[in-house]
Amino acid sequence: MDEQDLEGLDWIYIRRQEMRTARGEFDFDLYAGKVRIEGQEFDIPVHVGDGVPEILIGRQWLKNRRLIVDISAGVLTLEAN
């Protein structure tokens, strides 16, 4: 997530963390983000950096849930396995 997208979210800063990306090693700020799924709120790790063009929040969810994206229909579904 790009740093400019962080404004107004009131997420809690955890620490700075070095991570490997397709472009090499970079430092990211790690935040505790909040998401709401089916009325239930969860804390998820969010990696924030300068100039990050993509947003992938909650990669950990993909370990035990199925993500279905239908862009043409405007539908994103995250369902339990």
pLDDT at 58: 58
Reduced to 3 states (helix: H, G, I; strand: E, B; else coil), residue 15 is strand
**Number of structural domains in the chain:** 1
pLDDT at 63: 77
Closest among 32, 35, 33, 34 to 78, alpha carbons compared: 35
pLDDT at 79: 79
pLDDT at 68: 80
The 8 Å CB, 24+ separation contacts for 18-24 are 19/47
List the chain residues with pLDDT less than 50.
none
Q: How does DSSP classify residue 27?
A: E
What CATH number is attached to the domain comprising 43? 2.40.70
**Domain encompassing residue 49:** 3-80
